[in-house]
Structure 1
Amino acid sequence: MMSSQVLVVTGTGTEIGKTVTTAALAAVAVRAGRSVAVLKPAQTGVAPGEPGDVDEVMRLAGAGVTPMELGRFPEPLAPGTAAARAGIEPVRPGQVAEAVAKLAASHDLVLVEGAGGLLVHFDAEGSTLADAARLLDAPVLVVAQAGLGTLNSVQLTAEALRSRGLVQRGVVIGSWPDHPGLAERCNITDLPRVAEAPLLGAVPEGAASLPEPVFREQAPGWLGPELGGVWEGGEFARRVG
């Protein structure tokens, strides 16, 4: 199980499975009897009243998850840009740290899901999720793509984390294809090497389309023991190789 009460979830980009990975983390923790809160500091590209990422996490992970958003901006842009264009006050790292502290006081696990990648700007001053993680003194889980091009993105993210004194918990592949090609199979070995951190899971492609009870039942099989699941990297590599 995770030893830390707070885990920051970032990605190497957008649309790579960060939200479904967060939902899997939440589902596994709830299944283990833990109370879970999911904080989305900045939700972009969603109009008022429309379901956002935390709603998707709640749908998939089920009861036992407390959702929280700090800011919502209608245009699908970086949070700082979206806030400025909407004339709305941006979310700042201090607000994230304050909200997490309140949630951590009443929950066993707080998951903080970023928007896009680690260094996407929250505001005009260039504040990022990395700044929030530093205030929280929390480890960061990196969600990555499976295929060609992911090694560069993962290594850049890992180097950015290390340069800021942040701890990388590991890497999870956010959408593992049903029929992996050569690049995907090779990346099973190469991802932990370039990240200098363990590969801790692989969420199957289309997992969000599973019936919710099936998602919750299968989620432990997508995440390693360090994240509360039963996924085993060596066996996975043998099976897909």
Structure 2
Amino acid sequence: MTILVVSGTGTEIGKTIVTAAVAAAFRNLRVAVLKPAQTGLVPGEPGDAAEVARLAGSHVTAVELARFPEPLAPGTAARRSGLPPVRPYEVAEAAQKLGTEHDLVLVEGAGGLLVRYDEQGATLADAARLLEAPVLVVAAAGLGTLNATALTAEALRTRGLACPGVVVGSMPAEPDLASRCNLDDLPVAAGAPLLGVVPAGAGSLPPADFRARAASWLAPEIGGNRPAG
């Protein structure tokens, strides 16, 4: 597993924190984090890739291919800004180059798997196909996540993309009934094992604490020591 694509079932579900946890868990490797398109930030503001590096440690190289100021889907944000969009082949080329210099490359998408990156309708899935890379799915904890996860998994299968598993991106400290039941039901919806449960608020931990705890949230398949579900 030289390159791993990280995709959410939607936006604001903990994808960046999960990416940081995986990077932190593989602390003995040279890890690169590639963010193809960062939206909603102006130049100079730290983006998702920089946040991963801050939390995970100095063994992480953060790379961002493009930035668009409005908090929109990458294709829409690129069009409105007048800036060129990010193409799947550019993502693949950047990831492959990083793969020659690092042991692991984590490619973090924007929002869900099929969010558009350009006017042709290209998506993160297209970049993953070019890379022939597996796609780790980050899902929400609560009600509604089973449908979103099943749809994402179906989209991956129809494109011939492997899914090693699903990670809950933000589990409440006091989960409700749906969140508790979803720990058993998410692997069924995804057709892949539950490879991690990251607690809500993990990104607010001091980086040293985040690094010390990251492995306990993740299964061995993605660097941790938590039993896979």
Alignment equivalent of 2:112, drawn from 117, 139, 142: 117
Secondary structure class of the residue paired with 1:148: coil
**Partner residue of 2:227?**
232
Percent of aligned positions that are identical: 67
**Partner residue of 1:81?**
76
CA distance in 2, matches of 1:46, 1:231: 34
RMSD: 0.7
**Partner residue of 1:167?**
162
Shift of 1:233: 4.2
Contact 2:39–2:69 (CA<8 Å) still a contact in 1?
Answer: yes
CA distance in 2, matches of 1:59, 1:106: 20
Secondary structure class of the residue paired with 1:130: helix
- 1:214 paired to 2:220: no
- 1:37 paired to 2:32: yes
Shift of 1:169: 1.2
Gaps of at least 5 residues in structure 2 are: none
**Partner residue of 1:25?**
22
> Counterpart amino acid of 1:219?
A
Q: TM-score, normalised by structure 2?
A: 0.99
Question: Where in structure 2 are the equivalents of 1:157-196 lying within 5 Å?
Answer: 157-196=152-191
What whole-Å deviation, never above 9, does each CA across 1:132-189 have from its counterpart, x for those lacking one? 0000000000000000000000000000000000001100000011001110111011
Alignment equivalent of 1:15, drawn from 12, 15, 32: 12
Alignment equivalent of 1:60, drawn from 46, 55, 66: 55
CA distance in 2, matches of 1:177, 1:231: 18
Shift of 1:228: 1.1
What whole-Å deviation, never above 9, does each CA across 1:56-107 have from its counterpart, x for those lacking one? 1011001011111111000000000000000000000000010011100010
Shift of 1:16: 0.2
Aligned length: 229
CA distance in 1, matches of 2:78, 2:223: 36
CA distance in 2, matches of 1:28, 1:87: 39
Alignment equivalent of 1:149, drawn from 137, 144, 147: 144
**Partner residue of 1:139?**
134
What whole-Å deviation, never above 9, does each CA across 1:106-149 have from its counterpart, x for those lacking one? 10000000000000000000000000000000000000000000
**Partner residue of 2:44?**
49
State the 4+ residue runs in structure 1 displaced beyond 3 angstroms. none
Gaps of at least 5 residues in structure 1 are: 235-241
